[in-house]
């Protein structure tokens, strides 16, 4: 084939598949097939340099360094937005908008994610990328066209003809997965870690060598336009939402969370839903941007000196902070796992004051090279336990030394050991006081045996007095009532309530009992899986590896842990004593129907007719399974008010979504 025609064909094919992958999230070919097409174009342009063009997809791999970055004056300033930090401020914004428009009617808004990245303005002339510039001070930025060509989601040529000049604006972000991968590599090389994906993205845009930018695997998402000077003399669209849809058609990725809302109540519900889903997004966000949807209404509202009156940024609490690591101490958990924990100078992260954070394990501690006295980066995404990301090396105090891995248990002095292929070290003494305390706290938890009134302080006090010694000792407290009533600061009523709660927990479902026992690798869902498939405690206790590995969702590690746990004489003694003291887990019954046989169902949001536990139990009764996350194997999702990230994932995967009412319509009369 003629090289000129083949090069043009390859460019067209690659642009098409880029659009399918990055914009529509619906690839038509495999990664290897895409790579084959790309390599062919690279080889063709190398063999025929006259065929290389500035808008060729091959420009995305980077070019030789430029001498320096030059200033770029934006045709339309990239203004800042006013911020809102609570629901009341959001409602006040709506009041100002309606007052400015002189209307009592609800205003239509367009709400979208506020990406935590680096703003970028792209100028296209007759559909071809001419220049790219950072935001800078809003009026003047830096020209970074050579780097923008390496960013995924920035088309070098628009997917549809668009005569004239237009500025496309959006945010360059680094995905969380890429951030973790790059920081791991930097750590292994002994280099300073990136503080967060935002800094990594912003720094990537300002590289002189665009090959360095390409290595950061950055992504672009559009959110609007600046200058629009089209040959047609028309706007791109008449509303914010239609404009974003048009930009998608032109080849720019835009997130599906963006939506049209009406009135302040819907705005409040949207920001709450996005805040709930924040931790599950593949990139960082720091809030939500809300704009009046109509461009005519935007023009009527106009601007202040700072920014537009028709838009506001609803800010979420920061998920990262810098603080001092005072000391590193070892903590022993219920399975004997010894975890290094950072004692921090208290700092606010994600709206919560943090004074301790996990360092995961000693291998991770060594890799990150975190030391006592360091200034460290702490993060808390969503509701996860705060963690130390890494140190700020230039602030390390002189003489700071690495923390050694313990050779004996810091609580009982017993030897420590590491199982083959594990990174965790564990105390080998099952009678270790720290392990017993952690097992007791776990056993009485709300999702386990749910013993009301037995908090951490009471457990520690009873351990100190020798009243509690192991799990069975909880159920011997009834025989020591008079002794308990006589203890200082414990009244008769509180003791009787505690004993009643202990008595009432004896018949918890088998899955919860298995979870409560603290078997390594068996969480809430794992306990349910074991109980559903094996049905009786005796069957679980006697199950061999082959039986366990055949259970859906039970992997090799979990199967080994369960078998080993029940083979241990001390663990068997504990279970036998619990049963002898009246603990009687409610064992599974055979399904009464095959209505949901072979189906996995996910519940999300608030349910009106069921508690979440009751709904999942009912699905099991009808022969199905429930799951805590959505996948392509999910039969359908039942979504109630306040549904968040699970609903979004279901929609993105094309998994059917039903309301609670629709779910109930599937159920035979009288089966509830």
pLDDT of the residue at 122? 95
Q: pLDDT band for 341, please (50, 70, 90 cuts).
A: very high
What would the two tokens of residue 55 be?
């808008």
Count H helices and E strands in the chain, helices first.
Answer: 24, 22
Closest CA to 256 of 26, 479, 445: 26
Q: What's the pLDDT score for residue 351?
A: 67
Residue 114 is a catalytic residue: yes
Q: In what order do the strands lie in the sheet with 118-125?
A: 128-134, 118-125, 164-173, 219-230
Instruction: List the catalytic residue out of 99, 114, 217, 621.
Output: 114
Mention every residue, 6+ apart, whose C-beta is less than 8 A from residue 327: 342, 343, 372
Mean pLDDT rounded to a whole number for the chain: 87
- pLDDT of 638 > 80? The answer is yes
In sequence order, what DSSP letters do the residues of 625-663 get, joined into one string? Answer: EEESS--TT--EEEE-TT--HHHHHHHHHT--EE-HHHH
The pLDDT value given to residue 67:
64
Token pair recorded at residue 154:
């920035």
**292: enclosing H helix or E strand:** strand 285-292
Range with the lowest mean pLDDT among 77-91, 103-117, 326-340, 536-550? 77-91
Distance CA 522, CA 543 (A): 15
**Which one-letter DSSP state was computed for residue 280?**
G
Instruction: Look at residues 184, 202, 174, 215 and name the one whose alpha carbon lies nearest to residue 390.
Output: 184
Q: Which domains does the chain have, with CATH numbers?
A: 3-61 (1.10.287.610), 82-315 (3.30.470.30), 320-417 (2.40.50.140), 430-504 (1.10.150.20), 510-580 (1.10.150.20), 600-665 (3.40.50.10190)
For 305-330, how does the pLDDT look when each residue is reduced to its tens digit (9 = 90+)? 667 899 999 988 777 888 999 999 99
Higher pLDDT, 578 or 316: 578
pTM beyond 0.85: the answer is no
**More confident position, 651 or 578:** 578
Distance from C-alpha of 138 to C-alpha of 307, rounded to nearest angstrom: 10
Asked if 271 contacts 83 with a C-beta cutoff of 8 angstroms, the reply is no
Residue in 590, 554, 588 with CA at minimum distance from that of residue 546: 554
pLDDT confidence tier of residue 62, bands split at 50, 70 and 90: very low
Give tens-digit pLDDT for 152-209. Answer: 999 999 988 899 999 999 999 999 889 888 888 887 777 777 877 888 898 899 888 8
Per-residue model confidence as pLDDT tens digits over 27-49: 666 656 766 777 787 777 777 77
């Amino acid at each position: 084939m003629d090289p000129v025609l083949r090069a043009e064909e390859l460019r067209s094919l690659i642009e098409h598949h880029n659009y399918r992958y990055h914009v529509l999230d619906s690839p038509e070919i495999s990664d290897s097939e895409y790579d084959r097409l790309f390599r062919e174009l690279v080889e063709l342009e190398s063999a025929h340099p006259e065929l290389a063009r500035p808008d060729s997809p091959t420009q995305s791999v980077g070019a030789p360094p430029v001498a320096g970055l030059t200033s770029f004056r934006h045709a339309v300033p990239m203004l800042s937005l006013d911020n809102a930090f609570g629901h009341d401020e959001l409602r006040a914004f709506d009041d100002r908008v309606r007052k400015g428009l002189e209307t009592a009617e609800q205003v239509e808004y367009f709400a979208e994610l506020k990406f935590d990245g680096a703003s970028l303005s792209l100028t296209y002339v007759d559909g071809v990328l001419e220049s790219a510039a950072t935001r800078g001070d809003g009026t003047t930025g830096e020209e970074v066209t050579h780097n923008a060509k390496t960013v995924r989601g920035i088309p070098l040529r628009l997917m549809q003809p668009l005569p004239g000049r237009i500025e496309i604006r959006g945010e360059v972000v680094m995905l969380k997965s890429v951030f973790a991968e790059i920081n791991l590599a930097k750590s292994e090389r002994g280099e300073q870690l990136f503080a967060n994906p935002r800094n990594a993205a912003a720094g990537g845009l300002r590289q002189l060598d665009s090959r360095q930018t390409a290595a950061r695997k950055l992504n672009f998402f559009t959110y609007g336009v600046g200058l629009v000077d089209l040959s047609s003399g028309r706007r791109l669209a008449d509303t914010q939402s239609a404009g974003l849809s048009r930009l998608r058609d032109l080849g720019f990725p835009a997130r599906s969370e963006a939506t049209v809302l009406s009135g302040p109540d819907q705005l409040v519900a949207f920001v709450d839903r996005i805040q709930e889903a924040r931790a599950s997004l593949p990139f960082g966000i720091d809030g939500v941007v809300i704009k009046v949807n109509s461009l005519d209404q935007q023009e009527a509202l106009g601007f202040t000196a700072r920014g537009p009156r028709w838009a506001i940024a609803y800010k979420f609490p920061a998920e990262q902070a810098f603080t001092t690591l005072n000391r590193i101490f070892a903590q022993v958990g219920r399975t004997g796992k010894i975890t290094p924990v950072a004692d921090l100078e208290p700092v606010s992260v994600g709206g919560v004051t943090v004074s301790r954070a996990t360092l995961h394990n000693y291998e991770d501690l060594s890799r990150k090279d975190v030391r006592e006295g360091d200034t460290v980066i702490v993060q808390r995404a969503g509701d996860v336990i705060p963690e130390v990301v890494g140190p700020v090396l230039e602030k390390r105090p002189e003489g700071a030394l690495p923390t050694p891995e313990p050779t004996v248990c810091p609580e009982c002095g017993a030897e420590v050991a590491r199982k083959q292929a594990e990174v965790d070290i564990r105390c080998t003494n099952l009678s270790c006081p720290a392990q017993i305390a952690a097992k007791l706290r776990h056993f009485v938890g709300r999702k386990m045996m749910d013993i009301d009134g037995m908090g951490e302080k009471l457990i520690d006090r009873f351990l100190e007095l020798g009243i509690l010694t192991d799990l069975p000792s909880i159920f011997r407290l009834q025989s020591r009532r008079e002794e308990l009533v006589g203890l200082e600061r414990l009244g008769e009523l509180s003791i009787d309530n505690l004993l009643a709660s202990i008595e009432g927990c004896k018949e918890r479902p088998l899955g919860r009992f298995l979870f409560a026992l603290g078997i390594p690798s068996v969480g809430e869902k794992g306990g349910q899986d074991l109980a559903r498939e094996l049905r009786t405690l005796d069957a679980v206790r006697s199950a061999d590896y082959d039986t366990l590995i055949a259970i859906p969702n039970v992997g090799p590690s979990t199967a080994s842990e369960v078998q080993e746990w029940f083979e241990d004489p001390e663990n068997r003694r504990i279970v036998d004593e619990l049963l002898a003291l009246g603990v009687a887990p409610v064992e599974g019954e055979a399904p009464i129907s095959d209505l949901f046989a072979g189906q996995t169902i996910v519940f999300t949001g608030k349910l009106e007719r069921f508690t979440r536990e009751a709904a999942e139990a009912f699905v099991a009764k009808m022969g199905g399974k429930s799951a805590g996350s959505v996948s392509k194997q999910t039969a359908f999702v039942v979504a109630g008010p306040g549904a968040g990230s699970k609903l979004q994932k279901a929609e993105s995967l094309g998994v059917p979504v039903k309301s609670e009412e629709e779910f109930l319509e599937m159920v035979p009369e009288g089966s509830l």
